[in-house]
Amino acid sequence: MKISSLQMHLAFGETQANYDKASRFLEKAAAAGSDIAVLPELWNTAFYSDDVREIADHDGAETKAFLSRAAKRYGMNIVGGSVANRRGEKLYNTTFIVDREGKLVGEYDKVHLFSPGREDVVFTAGEALNVFSLDGVTMASVICYDLRFCEWVRLTALAGAKVLFVPAAWPLSRADHWQLLNRARAVENQFFVASCNGCGQSGPMLAGGHSQLIDPWGAVLSQGGAEEAVLTAAFDLTVVDDVRRKIDVFADRKPTLYAGTT
């Protein structure tokens, strides 16, 4: 299975420019023969302008239509990063996933909102895990800051995920954390990780790039730098079962002893 991570420099608060760029990058992923393409966090607005509530996608309508058209055009599954998504009076940081036929198969509202950046003031937190199937494979997604919460990511593995997608708007100043945490989540959960970060200066934020495609042993199959890139790698999904047979951490877990973590 071929996966592409679309590391984009986003236009701050300029939704049409970002939709246009996403379209070009999806075309590049399709040309590379990708089965699944993943976009970065808040790719419709960047992270995030003062008028984000006004320019957010209402009920994700424009985003879902855009992703559906692209998926059908290229015959490619798309993990739609995340977008600023307004539902009623509330604003969410939402991922939409569409299959090759353009059908919506997954939706996720970011659960852990980045309080140091006041994301929790602007957005409403989600409360549900996102586990879905593409091409018959169980997968999951989280968003950016969620990556720091190993308990949350572990639930996706326990739900059967073999691939985790991590769209993000992670700053360059903490790029070392980003790279370390992506590899750690892959190793401890024994699954593939496809992370997709923005890059470059977008408003006040310098996004860090360094998107990664990682196997269950923690080996980095492809990694970006600080510039735009379409990263592509083949995921041999039989490796997940092989790794879990060799070191069966799921059988050796002692969850009754972990209750104190709450």
- Each residue's pLDDT, cut to its tens digit, for the chain (262 residues) gives 999 999 999 999 999 999 999 999 999 999 999 999 999 999 999 988 788 999 999 999 999 999 999 999 999 999 999 999 999 999 999 999 999 999 999 999 999 999 999 999 999 999 999 999 999 999 999 999 999 999 999 999 999 999 999 999 999 999 999 999 999 999 999 999 999 999 999 999 999 999 999 999 999 999 999 999 999 999 999 999 999 999 999 999 999 999 876 6
CA pair distance 205, 207, nearest whole angstrom: 6
Concerning whether 110 is annotated as a catalytic residue, the answer is: yes
Candidates 144, 113, 116, 145; CA nearest to 127 is 113
CA pair distance 46, 251, nearest whole angstrom: 41
Give the per-residue pLDDT at 198. Answer: 98
Using the structure block, give the residue that is written with the tokens 């379409």: 230
Handedness of CA 53, 194, 212, 185 (dihedral sign): positive
Concerning whether 150 is annotated as a catalytic residue, the answer is: no
Q: Which of 21, 119, 144, 196 is catalytic?
A: 144
The fourth-level CATH superfamily of domain 2-257 is Carbon-nitrogen hydrolase (3.60.110.10)
Contact 97, 104 (CB under 8 A): yes
Concerning whether 41 is annotated as a catalytic residue, the answer is: yes
| Torsion, Cα of 85, 117, 120, 122 (10° steps) | -50
CA pair distance 9, 226, nearest whole angstrom: 10
Candidates 155, 91, 83, 147; CA nearest to 120 is 91
pTM for the structure as a whole: 0.97
Distance of CA 90 to the CA centre of its chain: 22
Q: Which of 21, 41, 64, 199 is catalytic?
A: 41
Using the structure block, give the residue that is written with the tokens 């799921």: 250
Query: For the chain, what is the largest distance between any 2 Cα atoms, rounded to a whole number of angstroms?
Result: 51
Residue 150 tokens read as 């190993």
Q: Which of 21, 64, 110, 162 is catalytic?
A: 110
Give the per-residue pLDDT at 255. Answer: 93
Contact 138, 129 (CB under 8 A): no
State the DSSP string of 19-69: HHHHHHHHHHHHHTT-SEEE--TTTTT-S--TTHHHHSEETTHHHHHHHHH
DSSP state of 244: H
